[in-house]
Structure 1
Amino acid sequence: MSDDPQPAVLTERRDGVLVITLNRPEVRNAVNAAVAKGIADALDELDGDDDLQLGIVTGAGGFFCAGMDLGAFVRGESPWYGDRGFAGIAQRGARKPLIAAIEGFAVAGGFEVALACDLVVAAEGAKLGIPEAKRSLVAAGGALLHLPKRMPYHAVMELALTGDPWPAERFHALGVVNRLAPAGGALDAALELAAAIVKNGPLALAASKEIVQKQFDWTAAEQWEKQGAISGPVFTSEDAKEGASAFKEKREPVWQGR
């Protein structure tokens, strides 16, 4: 069990957004069993509450996450949680969109937590990377699966084989980081991005995310059928009618999530 004196993960609701904060700054928010369970519980809360449209994952103390808590691992704690995998997020994230808000650094498993999110906001000068090879380990928490789909082959190989971190600016140039923020401003920038998303239809958001994520597994022959199975119910929803009516009437839509 963890000896942390306060919750390892904090949650706060802000206008339809659930801010999920890794709260172990004394160990640079390293992932132990309590963090994994806390993130998993927060994602369950996000997906299970119709008042929440989006989640933001961030870290306390001026940094995002240093990866797995090796000391806790040696003591027998597991940083994996159920079918959600490493940190309670790497294998199965949320149905709703997630934004990572990175300060300081996101390395090893910490970078993999960020890569499990759908959008990434990082402070200028933040360091991101997968240094596992320096310890004769492998970045098996998702980085080697996600990065080849998001970055050029040779860039991924350099990251994986050297283990050296890169500044957020380089990841921004490669498209992995959506927005850069001044140091100390990553969460504010993530909230600004979230505000542009949460005003949209919740059914459309969830369906769009599902299609973008799953289409890599579809053949050319089946992609239209599978996309239609996900998007079809959105087009026939009450929210779709409301969106069209609101546009025609020049007013803001009122979503019902059905």
Structure 2
Amino acid sequence: MDAITGAWQWLTSAANWAGEKGVWHRLGEHVQLSAVCLVISCLIALPVALWLGHIGKGGTLAVNLSNVGRAVPTFAVLVLLTLSPLGKQGEWPTVIALVLFAIPPLLTNAYLGMREADRDVVEAARGMGMSGPQLLLRVELPLAYPLIMTGLRSATVQVVATATLAALAGGGGLGRIITAGFGNYDTPQVVAGAVLVAVLALTVEGALILADRLFDPMRGRRRRTRGRGRRGGRGDDAVAIGKPA
């Protein structure tokens, strides 16, 4: 209880929020690092997963190879990269380690979303004369959207939580508050830093859930389908997906 009370006092002290070592500055570093890693991960994983899912070839191999990264601890990768020549290149060891950590859930969920899209709907859209790109963008991608967002949420929360390791390699972020607490034998500060990371991860998770619901391309169509009691046939669904909202 003393550590919890001390952590609350630490968090409510204005002095701990100001300056280059304050919470606001460390929070900005943490968000920036996480965002950069996620953008890079999405640019690598999503195009590969969507294309392989669309053509239906090579996806299993790609997913298995990406999942190998899950068996290697992120901290071990970070240490190895820090000891390599990349260790002299600023935060690149941390960025690479976090990107490798984020790719598997993005790649796996996006590929599975594409392959698990209702094949009757896809074939009906193909029978309507849609080209490959039209089929991908207007049918398969909207159907795969829920699993793609699940992978994005999983990767984002993992990266936000794991970005605290950047402090061990001399980087910034909320992890610096935790490592400073360990260095000063200040348990309340360590607890406060952990609480800040947890709150940030939960906040990001909530924001992504809201974004998922707001930007779901099938949201309105699902409502109309439920309102009709799903009386329409497969072909009607394909037409609804193919047409602009």
Same fold (TM over 0.5): no
User: How does the TM-score come out when normalised to structure 2?
Assistant: 0.29
Q: Which has the higher contact order (CA 8 A, sep 6+)?
A: 2
Give me the TM-score of the superposition, normalised by structure 1: 0.28
